[in-house]
Amino acid sequence: MTAWFLEAVHANPWGVDFVDLPTLNASASDAIETAIRNVREVARTKPAALRSACLTVLGPAGAGKTHLFGRLRARLGPRAVFVHIRPLVGTEMTPRFVLHEIVRQLGFVSGDVRQVDALVGSLLAHAMGSSAGFPRFFVEDTAHLDPTARAERLEQMLSQLLDRWQELDESYLRRLLAVPFQKSPTDRAVLAWLSGRELDAVQLERAGATAALGEEIVVPALKSLASAASVGAPIVVVFDQLENLIDRDLESSRLFAYAQLTTDLVDAVHGLVIVQMALDTEWDRSIEPSFNLAQRSRLGMQRHLLGLPTPKEREDLLRLWVDRLPDKPQRFPWPFGERRLGVLCGEAGMTPRMLLIALRQAVDEGPAASEAGDGESEPESVADVTEEADRTNDALGATWNEYLANARELLDEVADQKRCLDPWRLTDGILSMLRFVPALKAVDVRASRPAQVRIARGSKEVHVSLLHQPHHKSIGATLTKLIEVARSHEVVVVRERAQEFPPTWNDTLARRSALLRHQNARWLSLERGDAARLLALDEMLKAARSRDVTDHAGRTLEEEDVSAWVHASLDVGSWTLSQALRGERTVQDAAETSGAAAPAAVRQTSGLVLSALTRLRLLSLERLVREIVRVERSATRASILSELASLAHRVRWVGKSIVYLREDS
């Protein structure tokens, strides 16, 4: 007998189903709602006086900070646009990153409506003098108009906005307002362009642009987006888990950079509602003290300390959850007995998360077990301690697998969009990995450099380039810069295997070969599994910092405990990227050089085809072609097919596109 929310011990800001006790910490959610209302009101009545609001919500782990985001989404629906941002650890957050996140999340569904539809629909509603409560109706109504009438209506709405705020970026807004009325591949391309992401040639064509959004457009774009939205569905940007910005090991100014970013947003971008969320004690011990006075005055406008549920609220919360359980044999207080319920409602320091964990345990173990003990018992013997440690390790293993599954899901989503992972995600992953590789130490990270991450290995410095660009021109430009870097420093270039260069990109491939001719340069094709591990490790460590990782009994684990488990269980040092950065030969190198070392007589493609098949076992023909061409530029699809034909006794085909090596070969 399970219910989805029993597994969701950590709030999912974008969860569809939602169980909420509205009275719990109502003052904090009311304050945010009031701020949203005020922004909308001022935007409509006194546009010149429009400003951004900033609120801070603090509370212990499990008190319901992230839950507030879900509550507001459920309560306000399409009357606001919600953006949830977890801070970057490795890279400084910039206005471009914020713009990227806002526009990316415009594509998310909230209250049954895609947020970009809610934004445009509420603007249409306001322009037509109606309530902004039903934006989808106005979007559908406009979509049914003939193209000329629709364009006229959108133009009219645009000119109303420009009358209100003359400094808005007209061309950016024009593209934004048209998104809900464009067909699927085009609207995705336009949203990607609006987010400031670099596009490949096909996407650029779809978006009707010739280049990505320039750096000089980013802040005007943010201003335009925030001001325009404020009239209908104001944008609420929630920075969650800010305690992750605290860095006790590295000398860094991440907190200061974050404060500067949000201060700039408050000052320069009007119409945003910014909500900062962090652990209460860390905010005052480490976060706020690192801000200067100007930053404090802007970011400390309003502060709300989340309270823990009162005994009455605890009972109401448990009742609410139990009511949602399917097939319950008895009524509430089942699965608790009266005594256990009394303990849960009366015990000091009980957070909503703890209550949920207690409920989950009671459902799993049954009311008798729940009534017999308080769900907690100290291990008494050495055997108990060992068993306890084993169960904790199992729980951590399960948590790791969850993060790994999430990372794979993200990688699949990104691969579907035919693009690489956002470099800042990979950067955070690499920095997390470095914590477990004593031989390597992060020196600094700068997104604007061709090699974004500098790593110290003993007295040497390794420059790591995350080659994430989708467009061959920007890749070419970066490779040229990397050739310069490789003259004086060791360079490791990382490109995801899933986004390898097509064989037709002759210029790019030539530049890569030129780079790899330098002894200092090394190429690493990041396999899906390696990328997933980096992402999962980063997410897990961030969760541990926010006290969101628990053991088998639901007890919060210290960050050090999680780190110790990673150290003992994941063997981070043997990860391919870690080996490559330490200058060791990787499995990939071995496979590739075995092909390269083949005798010249058989070198053409035969050795390479066999080597690739031995290494990868089963792959598509397209992938095989890419693999071979990457190593041997003169190889062609035809020559590879002919080679495969000559190896007919050793290979098998699935249809015409999948090839694999026979087991007995």
Partner 1 sequence: MISAALSPTMGPPVSTSRKSAARKPVALDLSEWVARARHTLHEQGFIKVAALGPRPLRSAIIGQLRADGFEASKSTVRRPLAEQLRDALKNGTFIPLKTAHTFLVGGTALEAKKAALDLVRKGQAHLVLRTKSETLVPPTADVVDREEVRSARVVLAALLKRLQPLAKPTSQATLLRSDLQALLDEVPSTKPPHRGASTRGIGSAPKPAPASSDERLRHLFAAIEATRDERLGLSFVPNVVRRLAPDMDVETTHALLLDASRRELLELRPESGLGRLSQQDLRDCPPGPQGTRLSWARRL
- What does the binding site for partner 1 look like in residue numbers (CB under 8 A)? 58, 60-62, 243, 246, 248, 279-285, 288, 305, 307-308, 310-311, 346-351, 354, 357-358, 375-376, 545, 547, 553-556, 558-560
Q: Token pair of 18, please?
A: 């939602």
Report the nearest approach of partner 1 to the CB of residue 11 (Å). Answer: 15
In the complex with partner 1, the residue whose CB is nearer, 74 or 305, is 305
Report the nearest approach of partner 1 to the CB of residue 375 (Å). Answer: 8
In the complex with partner 1, the residue whose CB is nearer, 522 or 547, is 547
Report the nearest approach of partner 1 to the CB of residue 556 (Å). Answer: 7
In the complex with partner 1, the residue whose CB is nearer, 308 or 434, is 308
Report the nearest approach of partner 1 to the CB of residue 541 (Å). Answer: 12
Report the nearest approach of partner 1 to the CB of residue 284 (Å). Answer: 4
The whole-angstrom separation of Cα 437 and Cα 270 is 44
Report the nearest approach of partner 1 to the CB of residue 321 (Å). Answer: 17
Collapsed DSSP state (helix, strand, coil) of residue 28: helix
In the complex with partner 1, the residue whose CB is nearer, 305 or 439, is 305
Q: Token pair of 374, please?
A: 């308080």
Report the nearest approach of partner 1 to the CB of residue 545 (Å). Answer: 7
Query: DSSP code of 445?
Result: E
Q: What residues contact 344, with CB distance under 8 A and at least 6 apart?
A: 314, 318, 336, 350, 355, 358
In the complex with partner 1, the residue whose CB is nearer, 288 or 428, is 288
In the complex with partner 1, the residue whose CB is nearer, 287 or 609, is 287
Instruction: For 359-426, give the secondary structure using H, E and C.
Output: HHHHHHHCHHHHHHCCCCCCCCCHHHHHHHHHHHHHHHHHHHHHHHHHHHHHHHHHHHCCCCCCHHHH
In the complex with partner 1, the residue whose CB is nearer, 172 or 283, is 283
The whole-angstrom separation of Cα 494 and Cα 579 is 13
What's the Cα-to-Cα distance from 496 to each of 84, 118, 440, 472, 526, rounded to whole Å? 27, 35, 22, 15, 4
- What are the start-end ranges of the E strands in 509-567? 521-526
The amino acid present at 599, given as its one-letter code, is: P
- In contact, 578 and 433? CB cutoff 8 Å: yes
Report the nearest approach of partner 1 to the CB of residue 377 (Å). Answer: 11
Report the nearest approach of partner 1 to the CB of residue 561 (Å). Answer: 9
In the complex with partner 1, the residue whose CB is nearer, 264 or 347, is 347
Order of strands, sheet of 658-661, starting from the edge strand that comes earlier in the sequence: 618-620, 658-661, 651-654
Report the nearest approach of partner 1 to the CB of residue 247 (Å). Answer: 11
In the complex with partner 1, the residue whose CB is nearer, 10 or 615, is 10
Give the closest residue to 360 by CA, choosing from 307, 311, 324, 308: 324
The whole-angstrom separation of Cα 476 and Cα 450 is 11
In the complex with partner 1, the residue whose CB is nearer, 417 or 563, is 563
In the complex with partner 1, the residue whose CB is nearer, 243 or 530, is 243
- What are the start-end ranges of the E strands in 468-596? 490-496, 521-526
The whole-angstrom separation of Cα 595 and Cα 640 is 14
- In contact, 106 and 191? CB cutoff 8 Å: yes
In the complex with partner 1, the residue whose CB is nearer, 522 or 545, is 545
- In contact, 524 and 575? CB cutoff 8 Å: no
Give me Rg for the CA atoms of the chain. 28
Report the nearest approach of partner 1 to the CB of residue 384 (Å). Answer: 15
Query: DSSP code of 651?
Result: E
The whole-angstrom separation of Cα 110 and Cα 469 is 30
Residue that the structure tokens 């094709």 belong to: 525
The whole-angstrom separation of Cα 626 and Cα 646 is 19
Report the nearest approach of partner 1 to the CB of residue 239 (Å). Answer: 18
In the complex with partner 1, the residue whose CB is nearer, 281 or 297, is 281
In the complex with partner 1, the residue whose CB is nearer, 249 or 663, is 249
Long-range (24+ apart) CB contacts under 8 A made by 586-594 are: 586/524, 588/524, 588/525, 588/527, 591/615, 592/631
Report the nearest approach of partner 1 to the CB of residue 356 (Å). Answer: 11
Q: Token pair of 181, please?
A: 């009325």
In the complex with partner 1, the residue whose CB is nearer, 533 or 542, is 542
Positive or negative, the Cα torsion across 211, 214, 217, 222?
Answer: positive
In the complex with partner 1, the residue whose CB is nearer, 293 or 638, is 293
Q: What residues contact 662, with CB distance under 8 A and at least 6 apart?
A: 650, 651, 652
The whole-angstrom separation of Cα 405 and Cα 122 is 37
Query: DSSP code of 272?
Result: E
Report the nearest approach of partner 1 to the CB of residue 309 (Å). Answer: 10
The whole-angstrom separation of Cα 407 and Cα 4 is 20
Report the nearest approach of partner 1 to the CB of residue 535 (Å). Answer: 23
Report the nearest approach of partner 1 to the CB of residue 349 (Å). Answer: 4
- In contact, 193 and 38? CB cutoff 8 Å: no
